[in-house]
Amino acid sequence: MYKIMVVEDDPNISEIICENIEKQGFQCLRIVEFKKIIDEFITFKPELILMDINLPGNDGFCWCEKIREISKAPIIFVSARDSETDIVLGTNMGGDDYLIKPFSIEVLLAKVKGMLRRTYSYNEVDSNILSFGELIFNADNGMISRRNIRDELTHNEMGILKILLKNQGKIVSRERIMRTLWSDEKFIDDNTLTVNITRLRKKLNDIGCKNMIKTIRNEGYII
């Protein structure tokens, strides 16, 4: 079941949109707290976003740009703003389509289905985004970010952070991490793991996530 997030500050419009989307067999999330759009996105992991432009606080262009820092999920702008400048700006910010209000539900649903079909027919759903506090980690492209600061991880650093984030609050042994990093019969030894842990910690520190990975003596690591 595809998940669709609706970012629309008019409750009547968002309710109508979600009601019709759910009739098509999709799961729908209506945003009601507009300061928490990224948090809701990370938790819900939508495959598609319907985004208004005129929103409380930051506008839809701003939120589109923030989502693009962590995900390639398609974004369709739905707005009463119909100038060529707005449409071009929406595309430049990372939007995939633009629907002008007022619109018919049939046209909206056709755009939603078409976008989902083109994006996911031959691909796995992109929802490999992990988080801890203010840290956001895209396990597909290796990007870590905190607020507006970003960095890119190596293959081994990605593997380490992924297994630690998926086991938040649990100690992960060095042996388990090394087994996870084995690939193409290439053995990751104990010294290589230590080097990669050190580099990963430095990158996390550089974006403001200090002391995130803790060492538990004789047992392993924990986030």
Query: What are the tens digits of pLDDT across the range 57-89?
Result: 999 999 999 999 999 999 999 999 999 999 999
3-state SS record for the chain: CCEEEEECCCHHHHHHHHHHHHHCCCEEEECCCCCCHHHHHHHHCCCEEEECCCCCCCCHHHHHHHHHCCCCCCEEEEECCCCHHHHHHHHHCCCCEEEECCCCHHHHHHHHHHHHHHHHCCCCCCCCEEEECCEEEECCCCEEEECCEEEECCHHHHHHHHHHHCCCCCCECHHHHHHHHCECCECCCHHHHHHHHHHHHHHHHHCCCCCCCEEECCCEEEC
CATH number reported for the structural domain that contains residue 139 in this entry: 1.10.10.10
Domain that holds residue 204: 129-222
Single-letter code of the amino acid located at 222: I
User: Is it the case that residue 33 has pLDDT exceeding 60?
Assistant: yes
**Same domain for 58 and 92?**
yes
Whether residue 91 contacts residue 119, with contact meaning beta carbons closer than 8 Å, is answered with no
Same domain, yes or no: 106 and 161:
no
Is the domain of 24 the same as that of 79?
yes
Q: Which of 129, 115, 219, 114 is CA-nearest to residue 175?
A: 219
Query: Which pLDDT band, with edges at 50, 70 and 90, does 196 fall under?
Result: very high
Q: Is 49 exposed, middle or buried (0-12, 13-18, 19+ CB in 10 A)?
A: buried
| Domain end point (choices 120, 146, 168) | 120
> Which one of 120, 149, 173 terminates a domain?
120
By mean pLDDT, which of 36-50, 122-136, 192-206 is the weakest?
Answer: 122-136
* Number of domains, the chain: 2
Question: Stretch 101-112: mean pLDDT, rounded?
Answer: 91
166 and 217 part of one domain: yes
Q: Please state at what angle helix 155-165 crosses helix 174-181, rounded to 10 degrees.
A: 130
Check whether 207 has a pLDDT greater than 70: yes
Q: Are residues 42 and 89 in the same domain?
A: yes
* Residues 8, 71 share a domain: yes
Question: Percentage of the chain with pLDDT > 70?
Answer: 94
Q: What is the CATH number of the domain that holds 66?
A: 3.40.50.2300
Note if the pTM is more than 0.75. no
How many whole angstroms separate alpha carbon 109 and alpha carbon 34? 24
Confidence of residue 141 (pLDDT cuts 50, 70, 90): confident
CA nearest 48: which of 93, 113, 102, 104?
113
Q: Give yes or no: residues 7 and 113 share one domain.
A: yes
Predicted local distance difference test score (pLDDT) of residue 87: 93
The answer on 133 and 99 residing in a single domain is no
Which segment of 50-64, 109-123, 178-192 scores lowest on mean pLDDT? Answer: 178-192
Burial classification of residue 82, based on how many CB atoms lie within 10 Å of its CB (0-12 exposed, 13-18 middle, 19 or more buried): exposed
- pLDDT higher for 48 or 155? 48
Q: Of 59, 91, 120, which residue constitutes the final position of a domain?
A: 120
Percent of the chain with pLDDT over 90: 70
Domain identity same for 108 and 136? no
> In this model, does residue 126 exceed pLDDT 50?
no
Specify whether 111 is located in the same domain as 16.
yes
Q: Are residues 106 and 160 in the same domain?
A: no
89 and 174 within one domain: no
Q: For the residues 168-193, what does the mean pLDDT come to?
A: 81
